[in-house]
């Protein structure tokens, strides 16, 4: 049920002048297990990745390629950047970058009619802002 782009993180890429790059370092991943009604957490094994803002548009890059995925901007204020990742399942994937603390929270919820299953995942970590 998980989408490759979502579970793998973002790859680093070259960024043009006047852009922002948020380098993400994943710390922990917690997933809801409906069958056991538990929410166990484990150390995240995802590679360091990045989110790029360029001329008002936000992108993630599929690891190992130059393909950019455009992310939807929900909010960008003095405290946070909130982005929506496109998904191909019935659910939502939202990334919260907390500017004042340098932390991020990536939440996903999904439901599959075919599998009769739902799941939820929260990934947390740290980020660095790099202005180009």
The per-residue pLDDT of the chain, averaged, comes to 81
pTM, entire model: 0.77
DSSP string, 52-114: EEETTEEEEE-TTS--EEEEEEEEE-SSEEEEEE--SSEEEEEEEEETTTTEEEEEEEEEETT
95-104 mean pLDDT: 96
Could you say which architecture CATH assigns to the domain 4-131?
Answer: Beta Barrel (2.40)
The predicted model gives 50-79 an average pLDDT of 87
- Give the Cα separation of 29 and 119 in Å (integer): 13
pLDDT of 57 reads 94
User: pLDDT tens digits, residue range 28-42?
Assistant: 999 987 777 888 899
Q: What is the pLDDT of residue 63?
A: 60
pLDDT at 16: 44
Partners of 71 in the β-ladder: 58
As a whole number, mean pLDDT of residues 14-32 equals 78
- The residue among 81 and 1 whose pLDDT is bigger is 81
């Amino acid at each position: 049920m998980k989408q490759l782009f979502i579970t793998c993180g973002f790859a680093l890429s070259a960024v043009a002048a006047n852009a922002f790059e948020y380098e993400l370092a994943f710390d922990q991943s917690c997933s809801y297990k409906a069958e056991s009604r538990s929410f166990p957490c484990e150390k995240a094994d995802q590679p360091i990745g990045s989110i790029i803002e360029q001329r008002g548009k936000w992108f993630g890059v599929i690891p190992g390629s130059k393909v950019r995925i455009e992310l939807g901007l929900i909010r960008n204020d003095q405290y946070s950047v909130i982005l929506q990742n496109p998904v191909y399942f019935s659910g939502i994937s939202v990334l919260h970058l907390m500017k004042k603390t340098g932390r991020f929270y990536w939440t996903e919820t999904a439901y599959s009619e075919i599998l009769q299953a739902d799941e939820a995942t929260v990934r947390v970590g740290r980020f660095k802002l790099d202005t180009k």
